[in-house]
Homo-oligomer: A and B are copies of this chain.
Amino acid sequence: MEKNLKRMATMQRMQVTGLNLFYKKGYYNTSVDDILKELSLSKGAFYYHFDSKEDFFVQIIEQLVVRKVYSMLIEPIEGHENTLELITNCFEDALETAVHNELDYGFLLNNFINEFNGRNPEIMKHLNEILRIWEVTLVSAIQRGKFNGHIDRHVDAEGVAVYLMSSFIGIRTLMVETAPSARKYRFMSQLRQYFKSIESRAENQPNDTIY
């Protein structure tokens, strides 16, 4: 068990800087040597731990990307309170992080999906899987909201989920390079506006105490 410690450490070091570079420069535009140079490691070390560049990236997805998406977009909306509020805060936090991130290149998933779509089905499978989990999480959050009475019973949970994902993916692209903070603010305002339109009507009036 403890033998693997060094192995794990090296692999993780590679994966972390690998993800950073892939995110910054793109997968196809980042060479294995680029990553190795940053780590002062050799080709031998790399191919000792990973079968290929592709295998390396798949492991990055499974080890790092999945976790990132989980902690950023999945777990924050798994509570049982007012789900619209949960989602609002979740998006707010995620976008705020992006604003303060000095080097922002947009939504990780979006970038990679665009890069691999139609080119690498194997990797696309992994990326789509993450999207699917996000979607499922959102759908069940909306349904919880409907059950809780926070969301109007007539709204289409799947529709709302798709709409939310779309807008989030898009705003992350729009926030790179051009007025991220202002755009975040405008986006959040309109998101709240939209949420108001799918809230249960009783929510807006004082006569919602149905106990």
A173-B28 in contact given A131-B178, A162-B187, A191-B163 (Cβ < 8 Å):
no
- Using a Cβ–Cβ cut-off of 8 Å, how many residues does chain A contribute to the interface with B? 50
Interface of A is mostly: helix
Contact B163–A186 (Cβ < 8 Å): yes
A186 contact set on B, CB distance < 8 A: 156, 158-159, 162-163
**A71 interface residue (CB < 8 Å to B):** no
From B28, B114, B117, B163, give the contact of A167 (CB < 8 A): B163
Which A residues between 45 and 95 are near B, CB-CB below 8 angstroms? none
- Which residues from chain A sit less than 8 Å from chain B, CB to CB? 24-26, 28-29, 103, 105-106, 110-111, 113-115, 117-119, 124, 128, 131-132, 155-156, 158-160, 162-163, 165-171, 173-174, 176-178, 183, 186-187, 189-191, 193-194, 196-198
Extra contacts, 19 of them, besides A159-B187, A163-B167, A170-B171 (Cβ < 8 A), are: A105-B117, A105-B118, A118-B176, A128-B177, A132-B178, A156-B186, A159-B190, A160-B190, A162-B174, A162-B187, A163-B190, A166-B171, A166-B173, A166-B187, A169-B173, A170-B173, A190-B194, A194-B194, A194-B197
